[in-house]
Amino acid sequence: MEKISKEDTETVNGEIQQPTSIDGSICGYDSLHHLLAANLKPHLFQEVSRLLLGLNCAKALETAVLPESAKALSSEHNFDLQAFCFHADKELMREPRVVRVGLIQNSIVLPTTASFLDQKRAIFQKLKLIIDAAGASGVNILCLQEAWMMPFAFCTREKRWCEFAEPIDGESTQFLQVLARKYNMVIVSPILERDINHGETIWNTAVIIGNHGNIIGKHRKNHIPRVGDFNESTYYMEGSTGHPVFETAYGKIAVNICYGRHHPLNWLSFGLNGAEIVFNPSATVGELSEPMWPIEARNAAIANSYFVGSINRVGTETFPNPFTSGDGKPQHADFGHFYGSSYFSAPDASCSPSLSRCRDGLLISDMDLNLCRQLKDKWGFRMTARYELYEEMLDHYLSPDFEPQVISDPLLHRNSS
């Protein structure tokens, strides 16, 4: 269990205050899982893990064995590398459908003051090594983090960062197409898109690259945040692509980009279109969303009987000009710490431990997609859903004359009349 740096907590009147974690670690530990493992007796750790991570086929989640070449890349280039297996029950009529899925989280490489091209190429160089580790590990489907090819500059509201935007078949896609072909791997690549054919407009888009290096399609972020420093609405509008599910060589996948994870109907729609794995490439910071992070995707996996792969950026990105976001905070030059912590959730409510809170990482999981239908059969969430009630409710709600259905206690108003 790696302990990153000296524990540095402050105590005031006997109470532990917020630990100082300049490096983004949790009191010097890479992740909550590592902190617990290092500080609990083994039987307590086992019990706490059962409660925190759930069980898969009645057992603690198994780890998967990775090749030495992948492990060597991870230690040489200091990225976290972890691998797990989500099993399903054996069926009599269907063979297991096991796919190996990977998630990559990474920090930017050069300062945001460096030339844009250098910044982008440096990220390519770093990503190449981690993708090589995924390739060596036999990953079938790989997803990168939101806007992986640039700093997450949308806090600044400065339009010059739009220069990073690329067409769907631009430089970033071409870079990944080579690797997709080389490793026979589907790659989900969330980029800042410039739509040349529609007035050069900008979108927040995931490009789906097939295992032959072909472009299968794209999906544009449906929900754009207007919270904290996430000033993304200055740059792009709500997506125009609905809730597509992409049928790939390895399964049916969809992409719910970042802030879309706060919207249960967004998750539902990908499920209704038949997704078996939904990726949630994100960029989010500790102060704002960390308590939500381990819950929302896991809940979506349970409610929709599919797997979810959640990816968050990692590190602190500092920009040349300080900015404010109309929330009364003093001007500042960074977003705060992107806390990494990428993880997988399964339809049976189990989930993997998270990647590091402060280092780059590659998280790999084998998942038997048969688990999706097994959970549908067990819990019947689709069958019991009452969509017609919701259709009626939403139909009323969307009417300008809508009035909430509230039945007041008549006694409440007796004294006031």
Ligand X SMILES: NC(=O)NCCC(=O)O
Binding site for ligand X (CB under 6 A): 146, 225, 230, 258-259, 282-284, 288-289
Q: Indicate the DSSP class of residue 60.
A: P
Nearer to ligand X, 146 or 195 (CB): 146
Q: How far is the CB of 305 from ligand X (least distance, A)?
A: 24
In the numeric block, which tokens belong to residue 215? 């472009």
Which of 146, 276, 296, 317 is flagged as catalytic? 146
The answer to whether 359 and 314 have CB atoms below 8 angstroms apart is yes
Nearer to ligand X, 123 or 258 (CB): 258
In the numeric block, which tokens belong to residue 267? 């998750």
Nearer to ligand X, 289 or 341 (CB): 289
Residue 144 CA to residue 217 CA, distance in Å, equals 16
Q: How far is the CB of 232 from ligand X (least distance, A)?
A: 6
Which of 221, 276, 296, 372 is flagged as catalytic? 221
Which residues, in sequence order, are CB contacts of 108 under 8 Å at separation 6+?
A: 119, 122, 123, 150, 151, 315, 317
Dihedral class, residue 340 (left if φ above 0, else alpha if ψ from -120 to 50, else beta): left
Q: How far is the CB of 413 from ligand X (least distance, A)?
A: 40
Which residues, in sequence order, are CB contacts of 255 under 8 Å at separation 6+?
A: 143, 188, 190, 206, 208, 219, 278, 279, 280, 281
Nearer to ligand X, 232 or 348 (CB): 232
Q: How far is the CB of 3 from ligand X (least distance, A)?
A: 28
The answer to whether 351 and 321 have CB atoms below 8 angstroms apart is no
Which residues, in sequence order, are CB contacts of 315 under 8 Å at separation 6+?
A: 24, 107, 108, 337, 338, 358
Q: How far is the CB of 136 from ligand X (least distance, A)?
A: 30
Which of 85, 155, 258, 351 is flagged as catalytic? 258
**Is 221 an annotated catalytic residue?**
yes
Q: How far is the CB of 286 from ligand X (least distance, A)?
A: 10
Nearer to ligand X, 249 or 288 (CB): 288
Helix or strand run (H / E) with residue 56? none
Closest among 396, 381, 383, 384 to 348, alpha carbons compared: 381
Nearer to ligand X, 81 or 311 (CB): 311
Which residues, in sequence order, are CB contacts of 293 under 8 Å at separation 6+?
A: 284, 310, 312, 339, 341
Q: Which residues are marked as active site? A: 146, 221, 258
